[in-house]
Amino acid sequence: MPHTSRIQVRTYQPDIYRSLADSGIPPLLAKLMAARNIGNPSELDDKFSLLLPYTDLKNCEAAAERLADAVTHREKIWIVADYDADGASACAVAVKGLSAMGATVDFFVPNRFEHGYGLTAELSETAHRSGAQLIVTVDNGIASLEGVARARALGLDVIVTDHHLPASELPDCIIVNPNQPGCTFKSKNLAGVGVIFYVLTALRAALRRRHYFSGSLPEPNLADLLDLVALGTIADVVPLDHNNRILVSQGLKRIRAGKINHGIRALFEVSRSEVHKARPFDIGFKIGPRINAAGRLDDMSVGIACLLSGSLEEARQTASDLNALNQTRQSIEQGMLQQALAHCPDTLDQQQTTLSIYHSEFHQGVVGIVASRLKEKFYRPTFIFAPSDNGEIRGSGRSVQGIHLRDILDTVSKRHPDLLLKFGGHAMAAGVTLKAKDFELFRQCFEQVVAETADLSALSPVYLTDGSLNTEDITLEHAALLERQIWGQGFPSPSFCDEFSVILQQSMGYEGKHIKALLEKDDSRFEAVFWNCTEQLPERIRTVYRPVANEWRNQLELQLYVDYWEAV
């Protein structure tokens, strides 16, 4: 059986549900949307014209004016990107958008193993030597105090476009970040790719005011970049508020219509996914990981090259390289996971609130994924460490709902000022660097701080569901309706909780790791799949499940995917 859990039901206001249903939204969908704080049917509208205006984004127009000067004076613009899928998509958006407006532009993406993260003083010197006059960061830069200062000392201007939370001190330059102090932009959840897309929108307007565009250089259609914006937004797992849902929905519509970046098309091909059926799931679990593999194991410039490919043939080659890197990543991940599990008992002591593991053979690029896998297995805040340089180790952490990982690290740092060499992150994910000799001290301090400060009830997993689903509503039509919606972080896909009788069951899949069963409710029978389940099911169970329109031999059939079950 899965670990002890709590099943909860989302609440909603009946009057909001009735209002949504009266507007023409199907009743089931109206209930689900009311439970996700949708109070008005307009919040489900994905028209491009409903995007929040760039004028609300602090410094966006100032950044656009500086970029307009650079474009018109043919200054060299140097893009500094992050080495994840959001950073890669943001870099591709910046290069494509600026090039379409006649800019002289180049990019550089730091190597995780050589340069570290963000705009450093050394990178500013490299930009200066390359002849750059303006540096633009995408998906990073809000913490690059030294890098920006060095650039300014060398006579370079810097525009930081970022979405990460700022510290108390900010770089001395133009900053476009919805989370910076004084920014009134209503969506604080833009991904890095969303921020640079907004800046390009403002830049096009600035150049239009200068009567810059002509017959030989027409205004670019920035909607052509929305497939990349959707990719970065989904892959970075930012909350899908209304503004982000518009960006994702519009991008997916273009992908499904075949108006698609060569690199994204090639990645769909190599992952054996169908472009015309593109869903957030495909981007998040098939396309994004292949791009991320470049930054984890090699050099993200490979991923960016794929997204900047000038032809489908060129894109297919780099997509093949990314696919091979992803397969290597999966192999390394499995090996590390087995090594890590060898250090753990089958179940953790109830009194143990955290998990920290270091191994001298672990790979830096995969520690975050392994931490995530172990967090899911043991449901504890988890850090996995790998060797770095000069006797240092770098760790990547993942947390559970209700335990803010970055705040925990801050407390550890205050109690032991010399322990953490560097740390940062947010509630659910964080990174830390320390001396290898200090690992055991970190493990003890991390455990102590969580045990003393956290609400330990958070260490029991919660399945938040949409309650019982009427038997007559468990249909293929409803499953297909739900799959057509945009779900994601902060706007979770629906799951339901019901009791069933188990009529038949059989193992399935490689080594029988899954179960297919026939379940009965109110004299109606449904085929269900229990993933990663090898236990014999009892006669009566309570389940958390999702209705799915499963395609098999070109036919759609209803299946229930069971995320959790317990005996009744």
In 58-111, alpha helices (H): 60-72, 85-100
In our burial notation (b when 16+ CB lie closer than 10 A, e otherwise), range 526-561 reads bebbbeebeeebeeebebbbbbbbbeeeeeeebbbb
The answer to whether 176 and 60 have CB atoms below 8 angstroms apart is: yes
Q: Kindly list the averaged pLDDT for each block of 10 residues, start to end, along the chain of length 568.
A: 71 94 95 95 94 98 98 97 93 98 94 75 95 97 95 98 91 97 96 98 98 94 97 94 97 96 97 94 94 86 95 97 94 92 84 93 92 94 93 95 92 96 85 96 97 88 94 96 93 96 93 93 97 93 96 90 94
Bridging pattern class, strands 496-508 and 514-521: antiparallel
171: amino acid identity, one letter: P
Contacts of 166 by beta carbon, 8 Å cutoff, 6+ apart:
142, 143, 177, 179, 180, 181
Quote the crossing angle between the two packed helices 288-297 and 312-342, to the nearest 10°. Answer: 70
- Structural domains of the chain sorted by starting position, each given as residue range(s) with its CATH number in brackets: 6-34+466-567 (2.40.50.460), 54-324 (3.90.1640.30), 343-459 (3.10.310.30)
Three-state secondary structure readout of 242-287: HHHHHHHHHHHHHHHCCCCCHHHHHHHHHCCCCHHHCCHHHHHHHH
Residue 98 to residue 78: CA distance in whole angstroms: 11
Bridging pattern class, strands 104-108 and 76-81: parallel
| Residue 6 CB burial class (10 angstroms; 0-12, 13-18, ≥19) | exposed
Which of 292, 373, 294, 390 is CA-nearest to residue 336? 373
Q: Decide: pTM greater than 0.85.
A: yes
The answer to whether 264 and 228 have CB atoms below 8 angstroms apart is: yes
Helix (H, G, I), strand (E, B) or coil at 307: helix
Residue 521 to residue 523: CA distance in whole angstroms: 5
Residue 206 to residue 68: CA distance in whole angstroms: 7
pLDDT, tens digit, 9 for 90 and up, residues 111-154: 766 766 789 999 999 999 999 999 999 999 998 999 999 999 99
Tell me the β-bridge partners of 547.
560
